[in-house]
Structure 1
Amino acid sequence: MVMQNEIGRRACADGHGEIPTWTAGTLDRIDRSLSEMMRLRSVPGDVWVFGYGALMWESCPTAAGRQAATLAGWHRSYCLRLTAGRGSAHAPGRMLALEPGGTTHGIAIRLSPDAAEKDLRALWIRKLANGRFRPVRVCVALADRRVVPAITFVAAPEHPHYEAESDVASVAAAVFAAYGPLGGNADDVHRLQAALTENGLADAYVDELAEELRRMARLAWA
């Protein structure tokens, strides 16, 4: 069981290379959360997941489809402290999440009923093991003008790694200084901006943050 848990932990490291901290009830808690979410589904058939960060380019390999989508009522926010992967305990960076208010343009990923349970469980473990995110049901407007129910993951403000100050100046200072085994935290921001551009999307918050990081880099090298 110890070896199985260790393999599971490493396989489910989040997109920043952070390995979840397991407790005896971690998997039980995750499975209960997923079961409850699936029980509340109002429409049978395909399951949609709204990706606004790494899921835009790291979507499930068994996804049945994907397209641009808009989520109203939530906005991108680098409001979670990052202490592994592209950050460290001594120089923590920031991780992207969603917070209430505004609008987010991202990618809706369609999971077929046959593959949904397996794919969602892996995603649940990745997102919920450390407790910094919570899953929510939302409605997203697809590029083909349909509106569909979807699942996404938002910041858990009660978590000790939640950072209330997520304005560009505060985030840029942390992200610019953060570096870990996977590289610099700033690379995450630039990769997100590139993914948005590649999909014909934009986010003013991400653009402003990326530009501030480039400005800081120019000054550091001057």
Structure 2
Amino acid sequence: MLTRQAIKSGAYLENFESLSSLWPLERIEASLSETMQARPADTEGVWIFAYGSLMWNPMVEVERRSVATLHEWHRSFCLRMLVGRGAPDMPGRMLALEPGGHTQGVALKLPQSAVDEELRVVWIREMVLGSYKPTWAPLTLADGTETHAIAFVADNEHEQFEADSSVATVAPLIGSASGKFGTNAEYLFRLRDSLSECGLQDAYVAALVDAILLASTRAEGGPSGNND
């Protein structure tokens, strides 16, 4: 599992050195600065919206955690993945957000005393290839509080972006891809489990899980739903 130490030591970035799209630290830090300059004036504190692996492995210090709904965006496995949980000869798909609808996940409020350090960890993790556009999006917490959170949405002009993120196209890719961080299917099943632990469901995620399990059953082997 990815660790905070791997990010702080630089070991995490080394996993992507073979890719021409790797962002240097200077560019990652510039993206962070630009995003913070665009912070809505009425936003109290800094919230990060976790909709994928940040749900179960945030790796940052958190002052408050809440189930939340992000408005105007929905989950989409729309980014081609060549490292991590994929490979050049067997690419997987990485999760992002695309415009429209809403997404339920977890909002993470960073402590003001450590916000700069914690944001830097998040930025190195998420912006290593520049595949996302960090965006301030409207958010409603479980208690009804409305605010804005930073959401890492897909950059549809990036070379990793794939327009077709349908279940029929994506499921076979996720079902077969793997890399240094594990299998792509493990990620999907962990996402399903994390949503369930929060009392949440995502029809798109559920459909992908069903498609992969069906394919596995037909092949009499393959990825299972048990993972760490």
Fold-level similarity (TM above 0.5): yes
Tell me by how many angstroms 1:178 deviates. 1.0
Structure 1 residue 33 corresponds to structure 2 residue 31: yes
C-alpha change, 1:132 and 1:146, in structure 2 (3 Å) is same
Question: Where does residue 203 of structure 2 map in the other structure?
Answer: 204
Q: Secondary structure at the match of 2:140?
A: strand
Percent of paired sites with the same residue: 41
Matched-pair contact (CA < 8 Å) for 1:48–1:109: yes
1: distance between equivalents of 2:108 and 2:28?
A: 21
Structure 2: segments with no counterpart, 5+ residues: 1-6, 222-228
Superposition pairs for residues 159-170 of structure 1, below 5 Å? 159-170=158-169
Confirm or deny: 8 A CA contact 1:106 1:196 kept in the other structure. yes
Asked whether the equivalents of residues 80 and 97 of structure 1 are also in contact (C-alpha less than 8 Å), the reply is: yes
- Residues 10-65 of structure 1, C-alpha deviation per residue, up to 9 Å, x if partnerless? 1457xxxx536589972222222212222232146521110100011112441111
Specify the code of the residue in structure 1 equivalent to 2:26.
D
**Equivalence map 1:34-73=2 (5 Å):** 34-41=32-39, 42-43=41-42, 45-73=44-72
> Which amino acid in the other structure matches residue 152 of structure 1?
A
What root-mean-square deviation, in Å, do the aligned CA atoms of Structure 1 and Structure 2 show? 2.2
Q: Matched residue of 2:33: which SS?
A: helix
Q: Are the aligned partners of 2:23 and 2:130 in contact in 1 as well (CA < 8 Å)?
A: no
The aligned residue for residue 91 of structure 2 is 92
TM-superposed CA distance for 1:183, in Å, is 2.9
Q: Distance in 1 between matches of 2:164 and 2:21?
A: 30
Distance 1:141 1:130, change over 3 A: same
Distance 2:211 2:220 in 1: 14
Q: Which residue of 2 aligns with 1:10?
A: 11
In 2, are the aligned partners of 1:75 and 1:101 still within 8 Å (CA)?
yes
1:76–1:99 Cα contact (<8 Å) kept? yes
Deviations 1:60-96 (A, max 9, x none): 4411110100011100000011111221110101000
Do the aligned partners of 1:10 and 1:19 also contact (CA within 8 Å) in 2?
A: no
Give the counterpart letter for 1:138 in structure 2: A
Give the TM-score taking structure 2 as reference length: 0.86
Identify unmatched segments of 5+ residues in structure 1: 1-5
The reply to whether residue 110 of structure 1 matches residue 109 of structure 2 is yes
Distance 1:79 1:91, change over 3 A: same
Secondary structure of the equivalent of 1:34? helix
After superposition, the Cα gap between the structure-2 partners of 1:110 and 1:27, relative to the gap in structure 1 and judged at 3 Å, is same
Partner of residue 158, structure 1:
157
What CA deviation, in whole Å up to 9, does each residue of 1:131-190 have, x standing for no partner? Answer: 111100111000011001110101111111111110001000111121223332111111
Asked if 1 retains the 8 angstrom alpha-carbon contact of 2:43 and 2:147, the reply is no
Task: Output one character per residue of 1:176-219: Cα deviation in whole Å (capped at 9) or x when no partner.
Answer: 12122333211111110000000011100000000111001101
Query: Contact 2:48/2:149 (CA < 8 Å) preserved in 1?
Result: yes
Contact conserved, 1:70 with 1:142, CA < 8 A, in 2? yes
- CA 1:188/1:207 → structure 2, altered by over 3 Å: closer, same or farther? same
